[in-house]
Structure 1
């Protein structure tokens, strides 16, 4: 609506300027030119406002899209971390169960210390792998 009134104001300014030219009235011509120029400036300001609004909207949409992408990436990473942690705990529990079973079998053979060293290395390696991931 403002665009239409600005166009009408520009047209009225042109008409007033033309009337001043026809009658030789410099004051009327100057007022017409001023009205026409003012209307043109208003139109340009409206164009700039619209362009800024559109660009701001584009930037906001882009930022929102990036935020959604980051949110999904964080959720995926958190999910992967939980799976790795669960697998590490399950692996450590399995190693511990196997070592206890082996210890029970070999407790009579006297190789306890060797079994502990192997178990310690296996558990340490499993935990390091879980931490690295």
Structure 2
């Protein structure tokens, strides 16, 4: 399991290194998508979410953006076995919704919208109040 989590972390972190190589960047995105689209057992999901939380705290904005894109694909492909992690992933996406980089915020907003629309997380009154306050700023 350790190699799985390290590889996932690397797939997100290396994004900023290959920014100037379009072929490598495309291959990297494809690799991340293949991992995200795999049916993942609960043990792997736990490790993967821990790694995603670490990546989303990274100073590299490309890595944070890639991690949130990964979350979206991972949840849609593991909708039922990822239910126990809904609160953690909701918190992770909300945190990235207020990232310093517009690119990360944009991906986080799309991901959050998708999680609401597919019913993975429910819109609660607290969220609505929070979004209303933020819309006024």
Which protein has the larger Cα radius of gyration, Structure 1 or Structure 2?
A: 1
Q: Does the TM-score normalized on the shorter chain lie above 0.5?
A: no
Structure (1/2) with the larger helix percentage:
1
Higher RCO structure, 1 or 2 (CA under 8 Å, sep 6+): 2
TM-score using structure 2 length? 0.24
